[in-house]
Chains A and B, each alone.
Chain A
Amino acid sequence: GAGVSQSPSNKVTEKGKDVELRCDPISGHTALYWYRQRLGQGLEFLIYFQGNSAPDKSGLPSDRFSAERTGESVSTLTIQRTQQEDSAVYLCASSLGNRGYEQYFGPGTRLTVT
């Protein structure tokens, strides 16, 4: 079946512009996660959704970052007024939630802020 997909695969934007990153999880996966991975670094947790609610937003680096999920499916991560330090690969993952813990990752969106 289809895995986790993300779009766009690459995004180059000017400093100060807003960007939206999209994640389509595996159908039926109730849990959805966003991570940030800077070049050569580890996985930095940003936020996760259980259904459409986000019980843990503790990883969002600033109020310029927000995320939403609708229909227990698609999620969008929005970064407002982008800064150069936002440049990274943004990874989305989904899992079955309480019925299964394995996280399936998408291919990521490589964001470059110039």
Chain B
Amino acid sequence: GENVEQHPSTLSVQEGDSAVIKCTYSDSASNYFPWYKQELGKRPQLIIDIRSNVGEKKDQRIAVTLNKTAKHFSLHITETQPEDSAVYFCAARRGGYQKVTFGTGTKLQVIP
């Protein structure tokens, strides 16, 4: 089955700096890679996703890159703000399957 590894487990950055979270996956048939943000005590919510037919996707301060050859993908947050503080989960979904495998999460702390 699919295995998704996520690093780092915790990340502290100064407000205004950039944050990068990296994930690797094992199943070369995976073709959909979402990122979820979970604020303390709240439910996870999708913030951005990418499909295997593109290498990069950007939405304002958030971007995701995908390297299919190396089977890794990354989340980039620029100009971080205190409200970006949360746990971020990457995930991977195999084509033709509904099951989504999540990474173990990264706790991001943005220091004002």
Listed in ascending order, the chain A residues whose CB lies under 8 Å from chain B are: 31, 33, 35, 41-43, 45, 48, 50, 55-56, 58, 91, 95, 97-98, 101-103, 105-108
Stretch at the interface among B11-19, B61-69, B70-78, B100-108: B100-108
Listed in ascending order, the chain B residues whose CB lies under 8 Å from chain A are: 1, 32, 34, 36, 42-46, 49, 89, 93, 98-105
Contact of A45 among B36, B44, B101 (CB under 8 A): B101
Closest to A31 in B: B98
* A45-B99 in contact (CB<8A): yes
Closest to A6 in B: B43
Contacts of A33 in B (CB 8 A): 98, 100
Smallest Cβ distance from B1 to chain A, in angstroms?
A: 7
Bound form: Cα–Cα A102–B105 in Å: 18
Closest to B101 in A: A45
Contacts of A91 in B (CB 8 A): 43-44
* B102-A101 in contact (CB<8A): no
* B43-A107 in contact (CB<8A): yes
Contacts of A50 in B (CB 8 A): 98
Contact of B99 among A43, A56, A98, A106 (CB under 8 A): A56
Contacts of B42 in A (CB 8 A): 107
* B45-A105 in contact (CB<8A): yes
Bound form: Cα–Cα A108–B99 in Å: 19
* A105-B89 in contact (CB<8A): no
Contacts of A45 in B (CB 8 A): 99-102
Contacts of A43 in B (CB 8 A): 44, 89, 102, 105
Contact of B43 among A56, A97, A105 (CB under 8 A): A105
